[in-house]
Amino acid sequence: MEVERLFQKTLDSSASNPSIVMLLPIIFVLPLLLFLDCVELLFLEPKVSKTTSSSLRVMVTMSYNV
C-alpha cells in the first residue's frame, strides 16, 4: 500500500515535472541489472562474470550521469 501511494504521488507530480518520468525506467531497471549481475556472479565462471559485472557497472554509472 505504501508503494502504491508513493507511485501515485510520483505519477501526480510527473504531470508537472516530466524529468521524473524519465527517471522512472532507470529506477526500475537498475535493481534488475544488479540482480542479474548477482546471478551471473553465482552461476558463471569468475572470469566471465567479472567482465560482465564491470561492464554493467559502467552502464549504471553512465545512466546516472546522463
**In the structure grid, which three cell numbers stand for residue 6, read together?**
508513493
Which pLDDT does position 46 carry in this prediction? Answer: 55
Which pLDDT does position 15 carry in this prediction? Answer: 56
pLDDT per position in the chain (66 positions), as tens? Answer: 566 776 666 666 555 666 767 777 777 788 888 888 777 777 665 555 555 666 667 666 666 664
**In the structure grid, which three cell numbers stand for residue 58, read together?**
559502467
Contacts of 19-28 spanning 24+ positions with Cβ under 8 A: 26/63, 26/64
Q: State how far the alpha carbon of 8 is from the alpha carbons of 5, 18, 24, 56, in Å.
A: 5, 15, 12, 30
